[in-house]
Structure 1
Amino acid sequence: MAQNGTAAGTAKTTDREIFLSEILNVPVMIRGKKTGILSDLIVVETARIPEVKSLYVTRSFGYPGLIIPWENVVDLAGHRIDIDIPALEPYEGKPAEDAILLKDYVMDKKVLDLEESEVEVVYDIRLLQRNKKLYVTDVDTGKSARLRRFGLGRLAKIVSPDAKDDQMISWTYIQPLPTNIGSFKGDVKLKVLKENLAEIHPVDLADIIEELDHDQRVAVFASLENEHASDTLEEIEPNVQRDIIASLDIAKVVPLISTMTPGQAADVLSAIPHSQAEDILEALNPDTAKKVRAIMERQEEKVIHYTTQKILKFLPDTVVEYVQNDYPKHARGKDVIMYIYVVDASEHLLGVVDLKELLIADDKASLASIMSENVITLNTGSTLKEASQEFERYGFRALPVTDDDNRLTGVIPYRDVMNLTHHFLE
């Protein structure tokens, strides 16, 4: 391979399309000898689209990585990358804290497409080599991109031979990349088009708002009609609810809360500081405020007042056969019969056995040998709201309640908590 006075001298002057998936992890060669593999591309934002400034090359056997300037790239081919540097040491190191790593930042992340109200995944990135420089032009969310991402490039050409069939999204629609991102874990976001927000379902819009930064959240939320904003607010995570409500004028918040049912309003107000919730409640219709307060107070009641002692409880060395044979007798008069709780002589909770597991267990096995020791419990200080959240998260029909010493104080059935939700109070 011929080399000019500078490494960039052999770069092609005609446009050349390259997909990031095709060059990731390929060997990086110096004068015909492999020195590492391409791990990522470091880009910088320009006025129009990002430009590749460096290659991040990782090496085996614990050797430090290399940051190779684009100017030192001789040739960028699908099967290998040739670079020209006089020595390795000056280029050793890790990417700077504010470096934007293209694969790390974008690949396999979600693109929030507000125009189409869809959420796509970036499977590949289109690069364009032009006039000795390499630019980022598009993110690719199509089916052939997904095949390329998993090393099935040939199949991708058969499935979608025309690149125009792929779902390319121009980088000009991507928001500017932040600095100091480290190893980025979020999503790639398209520019927010306010005129399209009203068409997005509240559940989808909530997902989008949760991914935005503070200023973007407030700007987007403030542009919504009250009913749409109210429906969206209900779907947002509590910590984001707090962030939004704290940033909105009370004159904007009160109409949002007023359009909710008392139970929904209680859920939202329970997520914000007490003083702020009180200010909002004072501004609500007195009848609505009374209902919301009643629900909020009920949510804070302790589960210990609703537990039952009528449960199936045995010592760990109890034989399965004993419980199975006399199960109707053991279960008679009990409130919770689908779980068998295993405790020691001091009532410490050791484990739980599901009724289904009991029925298929070996007759001679002990409960200790078949019980699940990883037990989800509530504490005697837990609230009804916390119990409701745990039931929704895990789907159990009952939850044991233990004290600070892990002694079983009782069990709260699912139905008892659900009968006390806001649907009952309203």
Structure 2
Amino acid sequence: MSAVHARRTTVATLLGRPVLRKDGSSAGRIAEFLFRGLQSTTHVYALVLTRNGRFRGSEAVTVRTEHLHLQADASMLVAEDYTPEPLVEDATSVLLERDVLDQQIIDVHGHKVVRVNDVDLVWECEDGRACDLRIAEVEVGMRGAMRRLLHGLPPAAVESVAHRFMPRVIPWEFVDLIDRDPARRVRLTVEQDRLSKMHPSDIADILEDLAPAERDAIFKSLDEEVAAEALEEIEPKLQRSLLEHMESSRVADIVEEMDPAAAADLLSELPEERSDAILRQMEPEERQDVEELLEFAEDVAAGMMTSDLVALPEGSTVASAVQALRDFEGDVETVTEIFITNAHGGLCGVVNLARLLLASADTPLREVQEERIHCCRVDMTAKQIAEQFDKYNLRSLAVVDEQGKLEGVIYAEHVIALLREER
């Protein structure tokens, strides 16, 4: 049984290297690496050869890797029993030097955007047989950059310098093409389960670092809930840019998943015609919540509050409160208290979640409610609200109208976000 030998190399190392025919004459120099995404996840389909090793589509020919043999000392590639074929690209074609090197991709582990400096390859050869060239990783650190910088020097000298730097690689299995935009960008494949585990702030930071083409393609690939959470963390100018070319119906689906206060802030930054078009596409209940908030200035309580809260009538028990939390369709992570209202919708009690969890199911909510109720009027200014949060160390602050009817709630994160904008 033939032994399989694996030897590692890189795109930068092989570019410009000669490929010989079986009789020792030159078949050309390596100018590119043809990868067909739908045929294999890692296999390089063919090497692209030219006379001078520089890529010119009209003069390029391809040699499929099954016709190549790596010499024992790995110093030379030999093309055996092959017929040169013209380079033909299709919708799945990727040329590694052109389409991958120097492109920006997302490092999901580091939660940042990085640049591809090299692509690591593995030659897998059986004794006396042709080789298979496999893509292993993309190099995003200084090791790959040094190979590119010192290209043309003796390979041993280049590797000696490059290996002084720690490798920073991303497995090829995480790399995929963005939806066919003209620039043929490359990004990390971010599956929904991976993406859902990333913090919205991390996704926002990544989007802010990307060029417009990559940014739009990544954002359009997100599901509505993840897109909504990320959008809340992005500055208004970039929000407008991301939504500019999207269908109003798709934007409406995203806005419906946003906190109503954040959705109102977003729509208030858009042209009125665009904002109205999005509102018309929204479900009636979500549209009403947002439209009510759009009537108020952003720097007063009514403009800062959200209507996403959990409120129960007097006489409710702990069991009914727990069920209300389970049925809550808003962002449950923001909920810190449950509010108690009377028959007229007036605020008459607040229950901390910690007390709720410690009480038995049949306990009336009034027995575990806070001794004091902190609330503010709809016209209280942002500065006054911030002072309330600071003075009483609040997690949330109920907002009521002139008659004491519960209108919404302001969470600490809303105050922090506003103070950050004012800095």
- Give the TM-score band, short-chain normalised: 0.5 to 0.7
Matched to 1:284, the amino acid is: V
Displacement of 1:17 in angstroms is 0.6
Matched to 1:57, the amino acid is: L
Find the aligned partners of 2:273 and 2:122 in 1 and give their Cα distance.
48
Contact 1:124 1:140 in 2 (8 A): yes
Show the 5 A alignment for 1:191-210. Answer: 191-192=190-191, 193=194, 194-200=196-202, 202-207=204-209
Q: Which deviations, in whole Å up to 9, do the C-alpha atoms of 1:256-285 show, x marking residues without a partner?
A: 5632685x5333355847533566786534
Matched to 2:117, the amino acid is: Y
Structure 1, 208-217 or 17-26: larger mean CA deviation: 208-217
Displacement of 1:107 in angstroms is 1.4
* Residue 37 (1) aligns with residue 5 (2): no
Partner residue of 1:16?
7
Show the 5 A alignment for 1:196-345. Answer: 196-200=198-202, 202-207=204-209, 211=214, 217=220, 219-223=222-226, 226=229, 228-232=230-234, 234=236, 235-236=238-239, 238=241, 240-243=243-246, 246-249=249-252, 252-253=255-256, 255-256=258-259, 258-259=261-262, 265-269=267-271, 272=274, 275-276=277-278, 284-286=290-292, 288-289=294-295
| Aligned with 1:123 (options 114, 117, 123) | 117
Find the aligned partners of 2:14 and 2:168 in 1 and give their Cα distance.
20
Contact 2:9 2:122 in 1 (8 A): yes
Q: Which deviations, in whole Å up to 9, do the C-alpha atoms of 1:131-169 show, x marking residues without a partner?
A: 431111111111111010223566654455368x21011
Q: 1:15 to 1:58 in 2, by over 3 A?
A: same
Matched to 1:84, the amino acid is: E
Partner residue of 2:63?
68
Percent pairwise identity: 12
Q: Give SS of 2:92's match.
A: coil
Q: 1:225 to 1:100 in 2, by over 3 A?
A: closer
Contact 1:218 1:248 in 2 (8 A): no
Q: Give SS of 1:246's match.
A: helix
Aligned pairs, how many? 275
Q: Give SS of 2:269's match.
A: helix
Contact 1:210 1:240 in 2 (8 A): no
* Residue 147 (1) aligns with residue 128 (2): no
Please list every run of 5 or more consecutive structure 2 residues that lacks an aligned counterpart in the other structure. 126-130, 299-423
Q: Give SS of 2:5's match.
A: coil
Displacement of 1:65 in angstroms is 1.8
Please list every run of 5 or more consecutive structure 1 residues that lacks an aligned counterpart in the other structure. 1-10, 293-426
Find the aligned partners of 2:246 and 2:62 in 1 and give their Cα distance.
39
Partner residue of 1:185?
184
Q: Which deviations, in whole Å up to 9, do the C-alpha atoms of 1:80-104 show, x marking residues without a partner?
A: 533134655xx23433443222222
Matched to 1:134, the amino acid is: L
Show the 5 A alignment for 1:402-417. Answer: none
TM-score of the pair, normalised by structure 2: 0.53
Partner residue of 1:370?
none
Matched to 2:167, the amino acid is: D
Find the aligned partners of 1:188 and 1:270 in 2 and give their Cα distance.
34
TM-score of the pair, normalised by structure 1: 0.52
Q: Give SS of 1:115's match.
A: coil
Q: Give SS of 1:15's match.
A: strand
Matched to 2:29, the amino acid is: I
RMSD: 4.1
Displacement of 1:113 in angstroms is 1.1
Q: 1:55 to 1:250 in 2, by over 3 A?
A: closer
Find the aligned partners of 2:171 and 2:99 in 1 and give their Cα distance.
16
Q: 1:213 to 1:265 in 2, by over 3 A?
A: closer
Show the 5 A alignment for 1:350-365. Answer: none
Displacement of 1:200 in angstroms is 0.6
Find the aligned partners of 2:103 and 2:26 in 1 and give their Cα distance.
31
Q: Which deviations, in whole Å up to 9, do the C-alpha atoms of 1:289-313 show, x marking residues without a partner?
A: 4769xxxxxxxxxxxxxxxxxxxxx
Contact 1:41 1:52 in 2 (8 A): yes
Q: Give SS of 1:126's match.
A: strand
Show the 5 A alignment for 1:154-193. Answer: 157-159=159-161, 161=163, 165-175=166-176, 177=177, 185-192=184-191, 193=194
Displacement of 1:22 in angstroms is 0.6
Find the aligned partners of 2:270 and 2:259 in 1 and give their Cα distance.
11
